[in-house]
């Protein structure tokens, strides 16, 4: 299993080479949404901007707050930014990778063979003295990326009960208070899927917003119950930060499925059980 991450030094060398990767800026936050203004103020040279809400999801609805995007519409956005079927791609955001991982996972799901996340994102790039440029960027040459959906592990709502009952490890990537049902700032119902284990996404990174080293990630997920031979799946609020967890698991050598609709989809059916507390 190849690493889903790259670092600043490696990326700088690749950008100076004969086959540089396409860069995707995916700055976004739950409270403020896509940060196009921040992108225009300063981004990695040649990076194109991707709006998570518009480009990496269909409109909110019965499938949740961030349903998987229409494959052709998704691919069209990436083609305009220069992504080819075999062009290396590096995604980044402001730092911790929670938004960049959504782009990473979607590209993997749609069959792209070479996509990584810049560990530490823009913050790490600038801390290392990497140059930035302002205005709108992106590749001048369109790519030929053709989506082939279904190339990454997925768990559906209908599969969740059997998955948990059969001993699968279902990780909830939201913060602890949301898991416990103490607060719910976004969705109309608080709590978690019965049988899930709390595993906040931001525990995958250090105080600089960079992923823990492989051994530390492996230890973290082993402590949560990930062991050899046990199936693992992840959900969050709407399938965004869960992708970060899937990425961290892959970096630790664990293959994991993602429940794309996540909590925002689970609660659309009142027949599905909801748990609160530990």
What is the predicted pLDDT for the residue at 139? 63
Between CA 52 and CA 68 the distance in angstroms is 11
Q: What is the third-level CATH fold of 5-127?
A: Oxidized Rhodanese; domain 1 (3.40.250)
Between CA 186 and CA 64 the distance in angstroms is 12
Contacts 24+ apart (CB under 8 A), 158-167: 160/193, 160/233, 160/259, 160/266, 163/231, 163/233, 164/193, 164/194, 164/195, 164/196, 165/195, 166/231, 167/230, 167/231
Q: Collapsing DSSP states into helix, strand and coil, what is residue 178?
A: helix
User: Which among 90, 236, 242, 249 is annotated as catalytic?
Assistant: 236
Between CA 45 and CA 11 the distance in angstroms is 12
What is the predicted pLDDT for the residue at 3? 86
Domain ranges of the chain: 5-127, 157-266
Instruction: Identify whether the C-beta of residue 106 lies closer than 8 Å to the C-beta of residue 69.
Output: yes
Q: Do domains 5-127 and 157-266 have the same CATH topology?
A: yes
What is the predicted pLDDT for the residue at 119? 98
Count helices and strands in the chain by DSSP H and E runs: 11, 11
Between CA 170 and CA 54 the distance in angstroms is 28
Is the domain spanning 157-266 CATH 3.10.20.90? The answer is: no
* Parts of the chain with a pLDDT under 50: none
Is there a catalytic annotation at residue 236?
A: yes
pTM to 2 decimal places: 0.96
What is the predicted pLDDT for the residue at 137? 79
Between CA 191 and CA 180 the distance in angstroms is 6
Query: pLDDT tens, 156-172?
Result: 999 999 999 999 999 99
What is the predicted pLDDT for the residue at 255? 97
């Amino acid at each position: 299993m190849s690493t889903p991450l790259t670092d600043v030094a490696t990326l700088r060398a690749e950008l100076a080479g004969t086959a540089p990767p396409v860069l995707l800026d995916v700055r976004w936050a739950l409270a403020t949404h896509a940060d196009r203004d921040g992108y225009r103020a300063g981004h990695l040279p040649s990076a194109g901007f991707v709006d998570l809400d518009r480009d990496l999801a269909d409109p909110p609805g019965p499938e949740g707050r961030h349903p998987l995007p229409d494959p052709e519409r998704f691919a069209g956005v990436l083609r305009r930014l220069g992504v080819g079927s075999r062009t290396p791609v590096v995604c980044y955001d402001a730092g911790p990778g929670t938004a960049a991982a959504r782009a990473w996972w979607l590209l993997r799901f749609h069959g792209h063979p070479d996509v990584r996340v810049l560990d530490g994102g823009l913050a790490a790039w600038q801390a290392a003295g990497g140059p930035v440029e302002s205005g709108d960027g992106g590749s001048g040459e369109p790519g030929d990326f053709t989506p082939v959906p279904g190339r990454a592990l997925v768990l559906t709502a209908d599969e969740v009960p059997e998955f948990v009952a059969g001993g699968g490890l279902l990780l909830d990537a939201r913060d602890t208070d949301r898991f416990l049902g103490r607060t719910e700032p976004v969705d109309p119902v608080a709590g978690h899927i019965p049988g899930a284990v709390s595993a906040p996404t931001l525990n995958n990174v250090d105080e600089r917003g960079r992923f823990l080293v492989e051994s530390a990630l492996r230890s973290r997920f082993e402590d949560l119950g990930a062991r050899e031979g046990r199936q693992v799946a992840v959900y969050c609020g709407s399938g965004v930060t869960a992708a970060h967890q899937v990425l961290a698991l892959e970096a630790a050598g664990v293959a994991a499925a993602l429940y794309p609709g996540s909590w925002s989809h689970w609660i659309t059916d009142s027949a599905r059980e909801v748990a609160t507390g530990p």
